[in-house]
Chains A and B, each alone.
Chain A
Amino acid sequence: MGSLPTSRRDLLAGGAVAVGAVAVGSLVTPAVAATTQNYALNNSPMIASPEDLIAYGQRSKYVKSFRIHEAGRPEATLARYRDFGLTLHINAPLQDFLGTVAPSSTHYFATTKGALLPDIDPKEHTLTIQGLVDKPLILTLDDLKRFPSVSRFHFIECAANSHTAAHKTVQESHGNTSNAEWTGVLLSTLLKEAGVKANAKWFIAEGAEEIKGADSIPLNKGMLDTFVAYGMNGEPVRPHNGYPLRLIVPGFEGIFNTKWLRRIEVTENYMLNMDDYGHLRRDPAAAALGYQIGVKSVITGPSGSQKLPGKGWYEIRGLAWSGQGKVTKVEVSTDAGKTWQVAELKGAQNPQAHNAFGLMWNWDGEEALIMSRAYDDVGQRQQTSREAAKSLGATYAAGYNPPGNRNTIMAWKVAKDGAVTNGLDALNSIV
């Protein structure tokens, strides 16, 4: 025993519980348990080897929440890994997330061009800062942890996170985004240490994976809020998310948030690296959107494939975020967009982060089309596809979406029997 009971009362209480659990467990008959439950008794069995969970915990075996492959992308089998061209996109179970922080084990991740998962020894790994700097630097993990640190909540989202009418769940439609608390050192701190030359305007961030993915990023973003993260949700960054170092570029498309970061090179010009080549655009309107995720929200519950057991009160819950800044307001409609109510924003409103929202709803048992829309502090509101077409001077046709990341409104249809299905076609049919 670690410590002795401090009083006779503690001793009696502890002993009574232990004895009661053993004795009652063997006496209760199923018939009795099914009809009346005696709340004084503890009928739960005990976890078999709790000592195994002391050093490193696990979730309850009753919690079934898993990542899935994005529909239409190759699965993550070894054979597929070996087949060049694989773009592995793994969707997070947003419908199961409670609050705003994604559990690290189910945080979304994506790779391009068949990236395998590097197995990096942190003792061997360094970050090199070079290019247009006065004093190039090689920094170890231990070095990086000596600088002043920041801990910030930020979402990361793949630019291809695009909901369609074919998606059955919110995990399929919106699962290529997750939010975590990232800890690390501001890139501005490191660049000041190295001394940036006057003609510098861009920097390259490069990963250590087999294809050495690299992006050009505006230096003013690098000096504003970009940081080199070694921590994720209170522990070292997970391998799928870039262990041991990941660049966090708040609000920019996922691909800029370079995993397995090994090199920062400051440059004068846009470098047209491999990842930049993937961003080549023909349409000026699309090129201008290249970096940022727009203002976006989605109802995660009730959401596709769930079922409401009957009419009555429910909290409509969801996530809202903007790559442009802070979410200022979320509205929810339960009548196909005829009227909107302001939802409650939960907790602190972090910029470029998922924000949880909720709205209590008394469902009358009739068919309903529910949806959310977010506002942000640069003054924009999430639009339907039709609204977006009008705002951008485009002609609306079925399937229209604004260029770049799809941040239009998503709708869910609640049937009379409580079944929830994709409501996007129903939304887009409303003129």
Chain B
Amino acid sequence: MVSMPSIASFKYLPILLLAATPALAQSAPATYGIGRAPTAAELAASSITIHPDGTGLPKGSGTAAIGAKVFVDAGCEACHGVKGAGGVTSAPALLAAKGPEASPWDRGVMAVKAPYATIMWSFINRAMPFGNEGSLKPDEVYALSAYLLAVNKVIPEDMVINQDNLAKVKMPMNREPATVAGPNNWVRVPEWQPGQPRFKGYPG
């Protein structure tokens, strides 16, 4: 608190008023200096974002064989069914009914449809298992990722998945160049501009 002038300092009141006047007319500063800087530890811990190129992935590794065990132990199977075949609850199937000859759009599951394997890693890490989210250790998430990629025949059964090779997994969805429409591709999101209509060609 700013201490108020005492009665004895009443003679300074006009000066105080003059000093206060410019404050009332003050224009907005470039920044307000509100808030605090995070510590290095806070900053490192806060982001759970995984970039499509693998930036943000913690160190760790896992195989499909380990993942098969985690899939049961962590409770994934209870909701997603044996090998992720679905049909147990409203949780989606994680094992595609159709094989690699089909388009990833028709195979549907995340291990096939995600353009980057990092998307699945990030999803498991932040949102699974349901009811105990965020509890899996990085090695378990790598193992589950390897398991789901292997059962869907995206990677070989014995491949070790880690922070360096996860983003390099060649996903079934990303087989054509970004600008080419194809059965194994997704449409890149266009740039948004203010005043841009949602549809072109709608009459007024």
The residues of A with any CB-CB pair to B shorter than 8 Å are: 74, 82-86, 113-114, 128, 130-131, 135-140, 143, 146-148, 192-193, 195, 204, 206, 210-212, 214, 218, 220-221, 224, 263, 265, 267, 269-274, 277, 279-284, 286-294, 323-325, 375, 378-381, 383, 388, 391-393, 402, 404
Q: Which residues of the other chain, B, contact A270 by a CB distance below 8 angstroms?
A: 188-189
B9 touches A (CB below 8 Å): no
19 additional A-B pairs beyond A265-B47, A378-B195, beta carbons within 8 Å, are A85-B92, A130-B47, A138-B38, A146-B32, A147-B32, A193-B34, A210-B131, A263-B47, A265-B49, A271-B52, A272-B115, A272-B118, A273-B119, A274-B127, A281-B186, A286-B187, A288-B190, A292-B198, A391-B201
- A128–chain B nearest beta-carbon distance, Å: 5
Q: Which residues of the other chain, B, contact A139 by a CB distance below 8 angstroms?
A: 34-35
For the A-B complex, the count of residue pairs with Cβ-Cβ distances under 8 Å equals 177
The residues of B with any CB-CB pair to A shorter than 8 Å are: 28, 30-32, 34-38, 42-43, 46-49, 51-52, 79, 89-92, 105, 110, 113-116, 118-119, 122-123, 126-127, 130-131, 133-134, 181, 186-204
Looking at chain B's contact residues, the main secondary structure is: loop
Contact B48 A212 (CB under 8 A): yes
Interface core residue of A192, A221, A282, A383 (most chain B CB under 10 Å) = A282
Q: Which residues of the other chain, B, contact A221 by a CB distance below 8 angstroms?
A: 192, 194
Looking at chain A's contact residues, the main secondary structure is: loop
- A209–chain B nearest beta-carbon distance, Å: 9
- B93–chain A nearest beta-carbon distance, Å: 11
Q: Which residues of the other chain, A, contact B187 by a CB distance below 8 angstroms?
A: 281-284, 286-287
Interface core residue of B119, B130, B133, B202 (most chain A CB under 10 Å) = B202
Complex formed: what's the CA distance from A193 to B36 in Å? 11
Known: A265-B49, A287-B189, A289-B199. A136 touches B110 (CB 8 A): no
Complex formed: what's the CA distance from A130 to B44 in Å? 10
A-B contact pairs, 22 of them (CB 8 A): A82-B130, A83-B89, A83-B90, A130-B38, A130-B47, A135-B37, A143-B34, A147-B32, A148-B28, A192-B30, A193-B34, A212-B48, A212-B127, A220-B193, A274-B122, A287-B189, A291-B192, A294-B197, A294-B198, A375-B204, A378-B195, A391-B199
Residue of B nearest to A379 (CB): B204
- B78–chain A nearest beta-carbon distance, Å: 10
Known: A128-B46, A269-B52, A274-B127. A393 touches B201 (CB 8 A): yes
Residue of B nearest to A137 (CB): B35
Contact B202 A381 (CB under 8 A): yes
Q: Which residues of the other chain, B, contact A218 by a CB distance below 8 angstroms?
A: 191-192
